[in-house]
Amino acid sequence: MAMLKRLVHFFANIINHHQMINALAIKDYQGRFAGTLLGSTWSVIHPLSITFVFWLVFSIGFRATGPVNIPFVLYFLAGYVPWTMFNESLSTSTGTVVAHSYLVKKAVFPSEILPLSQILTSIYNHLILLPITIGIILAHGYAPSLWMFQVFYYFICIIVFTLGLSWMCAALNVFYRDTSQVLLTILNFWFWMTPVVWHIGMVPERFRYLMHFNPMFYVIEGYRDSLIYQHAFWENPKAALIFWGTAITAVFLGSYVFRRLKPQFVDVL
């Protein structure tokens, strides 16, 4: 019962500081592009330039296409946009407690909001890139559909799953600074283990069930279901249960680790 009360207080504290979270996110977003000529436009240029490189190599060089003759650029973009948000949110959140040590050392500062502010910054970028992706899909002859609004369900999936991992990694990084470097390696491996560039049909059928234990597989295929295939998210309840079981576990475990390690942050920093 005592543990439950502490957990409720932990989340209530976050809600009470929602304005501070937004202020930190805006400051961080502006700071990322401070002094640059193009400003926040770089948040669009970077993922689009990577998309161009993959299109050039796979579509032009290897003449690859998505499944069912879907243009490779559409298949890749629909998977890369959610991956970019996940990758950016988690990698920036990991170092945020250390980077804001001057705030953490203040006794009254709620350090648990720092990973959320980084996730919110990534959301700003995502909400710029997503309409561009939809525009490219429509320009290829796909008709607008109400199924496209389903993408916001998977958008919430990313936020929930990333939040738990961010709390855990941010707390561990205070004590083990190698955490951020290890995470970059894991994310690179994770990217290639997730069907962003390739598709699930390349995996032998007897091994495909293993992909459902990769939470980002559920999200990325969900984006494609919403933007390209127009499939409903409730058509695969088993995959949804596996994802939400993993995501909720990550949130509770991440919040527990952060809450337990938080009292020692000041001593280490």
Q: How confident is the model at residue 109 (pLDDT cuts 50, 70, 90)?
A: confident
Supply the pLDDT for residue 167. 95
159 token code pair: 């936020």
Is it the case that residue 126 has pLDDT exceeding 80? Answer: yes
The answer to whether the beta carbons of residues 89 and 119 sit under 8 Å apart is: yes
User: What is the overall mean pLDDT for the chain?
Assistant: 87
Tell me the average pLDDT across 206-234: 91
Full-model pTM: 0.90
Residue with tokens 């629909």, as numbered in its chain: 78
Supply the pLDDT for residue 67. 79
- What residues contact 92, with CB distance under 8 A and at least 6 apart? 118, 121, 122
Share of the chain above pLDDT 70, in %: 93
- In the chain, what are the domain boundaries? 38-268
Tell me the average pLDDT across 108-116: 88
Q: Which residues of 195-212 are buried (b: 16+ CB within 10 A; e: fewer)?
A: bbbbbeeeeeeeeeeebb
Distance CA 53, CA 60 (A): 10
Give per-residue pLDDT as tens, 177-218: 999 999 999 999 999 999 999 888 888 888 888 888 999 999
Give per-residue pLDDT as tens, 136-186: 899 888 888 888 999 999 999 999 999 999 999 999 999 999 999 999 999
Is it the case that residue 7 has pLDDT exceeding 80? Answer: no
Distance CA 186, CA 29 (A): 25
- Which of 181-190, 214-223, 231-240 is predicted least confidently? 231-240
Is it the case that residue 133 has pLDDT exceeding 70? Answer: yes
Give per-residue pLDDT as tens, 50-84: 878 877 877 676 666 677 778 888 899 999 999 99
CA torsion, points 239, 244, 247, 253, in degrees to nearest 10?
-130
Total length of the chain: 269
